[in-house]
Chain A
Amino acid sequence: MRCAESTTYGLVTAAYGEMQDDASTIDLDYSVGQNGADAAFYITRPGQKALKASDNGTFLALFDKDIAIELQKLRRDLFFVHAAVLTRGEAVMLVAKPGGGKSTLTWALLHHGFGFLSDELAPVDLGTLEVHPYPRTLALKREPPGSYPLPRRTVTTSRSLHVRNVPGSVVKAPTPLGAVVFLNYDPDATAPKIRRLTPAEAGARLYANALNPLAHAGSGLDGAVRITAAQPCYELVSTDLPATCALLARTLEPSE
């Protein structure tokens, strides 16, 4: 990624700094920056029409979307799920509707001994059932509750809060999947609840959150079912964050 000036460089580093690597092999060649009288942001790739954004939040959102699509094209072998992924020995996939509290719960769980693998994309190797890392910075849409305050170095854009230096470890290696959790935020619930899902129910739910199912055998149905048949899957109704974290941590404790 080439970046012409410091504002855009700061944004890109805030969002993708954990993914920085040497440039010995280039899979995607981006140029980003600001230009024009209105200092609009641009994103270009060779042979592609430039993307433009009027503000920093839209710029990162456009970049997120573009790179997610390009990664799916580059790694058609992987089954991409729209999910956050934490680690606790094995990977724990957190699946939720947009705005369903996935990133907020991820941020909270990082204070309870979980490691960070991804906030947004869960690329699964269907052969090994390992989840590949996608450690783009955790992005929250709003301030989390006071029990989990954001660090000072959080970068704020017009759309989101990008949290660098998360309290848990950032995992940068493929990690075997150990559980899939479908999150359902209910602000009116008096206590969090968790229930085990059958592989079929979980498979149907997972399929609905798959990003590239048609790139796989059986229109992706085989992949979704393979994932949910191989490990425990749960529906978690979340409410108060500390109680939700405690319930999930207890549920995922290895049985004696």
Chain B
Amino acid sequence: MSEDHPKRRSDISARVVADETVVLDLGAAQIHQLNATASFIWNRCDGHNTAGEIAEKLADSFDVDSETACQAVQTALRRFDELRLLDSARE
């Protein structure tokens, strides 16, 4: 698992509603809906947690095995990156 410290872009607005998240990227004129798992991962993209740490927390909270959690985090981070929702100049 990557030792990267993913971080949400600071100019993006997000609101949590019923365990899901609505993410507004005004700069790109795009709005996204994150399901509960993606929301969990998104909320931990704070520049401190590594991808591996996020996966551990996901495994604990959602009662899934480590491999499933790692795959979910990798998939979500890849998608966040594709959508340019994360800071590109992170550690």
Number of interface residues of B (CB under 8 A): 14
User: Could you say which of B2-10, B25-33, B48-56, B79-87 contacts chain A?
Assistant: B25-33
- Selected from A200, A219, A224, the residue in CB contact (under 8 A) with B21 is A200
Contact A204 B22 (CB under 8 A): yes
Contact B26 A219 (CB under 8 A): yes
A229 contacts partner chain B, Cβ-Cβ < 8 Å: yes
A70 contacts partner chain B, Cβ-Cβ < 8 Å: no
A178 contacts partner chain B, Cβ-Cβ < 8 Å: no
Tell me what chain A mostly uses at the interface: helix, strand, loop, or mixed: helix
A218 contacts partner chain B, Cβ-Cβ < 8 Å: yes
Q: By CB atoms of chain B within 10 A, which of A203, A222, A224, A228 has the most?
A: A203
Contact B17 A199 (CB under 8 A): yes
A221 contacts partner chain B, Cβ-Cβ < 8 Å: yes
Contact A221 B15 (CB under 8 A): yes
Scoring A residues 190 to 232 as 1 if CB is less than 8 Å from chain B, else 0, what string do you get? Answer: 0000000011110110011000000000110110110011000
B89 contacts partner chain A, Cβ-Cβ < 8 Å: no
CB distance from A216 to the nearest CB of B (A): 12
Complex interface: chain B residues within 8 A of A224 (CB):
22
Number of interface residues of A (CB under 8 A): 16
Complex interface: chain A residues within 8 A of B33 (CB):
198, 200-201, 203-204
B72 contacts partner chain A, Cβ-Cβ < 8 Å: no
CB distance from A129 to the nearest CB of B (A): 15
Contact A207 B22 (CB under 8 A): yes
With CB as the reference atom, state the residue of chain B lying closest to A201: B33
Contact B15 A222 (CB under 8 A): yes
Evaluate whether A200 and B26 lie within 8 angstroms (CB atoms) in the complex, with A207-B31, A218-B13, A228-B17 already known: no
Contact B15 A225 (CB under 8 A): yes
Complex interface: chain B residues within 8 A of A228 (CB):
17
Interface residues of B (CB under 8 A from A): 13-15, 17-18, 20-22, 24, 26, 31-34
Interface residues of A (CB under 8 A from B): 198-201, 203-204, 207-208, 218-219, 221-222, 224-225, 228-229
28 contacting pairs across A/B (C-beta < 8 A): A198-B20, A198-B33, A199-B20, A200-B18, A200-B21, A200-B22, A200-B33, A201-B20, A201-B33, A203-B17, A203-B22, A203-B33, A204-B32, A207-B22, A207-B31, A218-B13, A218-B15, A219-B24, A219-B26, A221-B13, A221-B15, A222-B15, A225-B15, A225-B17, A225-B22, A228-B17, A229-B17, A229-B18
